[in-house]
Amino acid sequence: MSDKTIKIRKSGNSNILTLPKEIKPKAKRYRVFQGRDGMIVYVPEKSNPFKDPAFINRYKNSRQKEEFEGPLFDNELS
């Protein structure tokens, strides 16, 4: 882990945090969050399969196999 300190730069209406050259990004896009303690976290952006029409279409009529076979107890399917 890098032990370097960086400063926030302003560019127009944006704040910029530069990465030290030792940090090699593994994604092109990141989501950014700030915690209550002020920590800034960058998370690589990944597609959400539950919003992907091809994924939804492929699995829309799928049913999970019950772990315990036998009759249902009540209204588990409603």
Domain ranges of the chain: 24-61
pLDDT for 13 = 96
Taking 60 as the threshold, does the pLDDT of residue 1 lie above it? no
**What H or E segment, with its residue span, contains residue 34?**
strand 30-34
CA distances from 68 to 63, 65, 73, 74 (A): 14, 9, 11, 15
Mean pLDDT score of the chain: 85
Taking 70 as the threshold, does the pLDDT of residue 68 lie above it? no
Provide CB contacts within 8 A for 12, sequence distance 6+: none
Structure confidence by residue, pLDDT tens digits, 28-49: 999 999 999 999 999 999 888 8
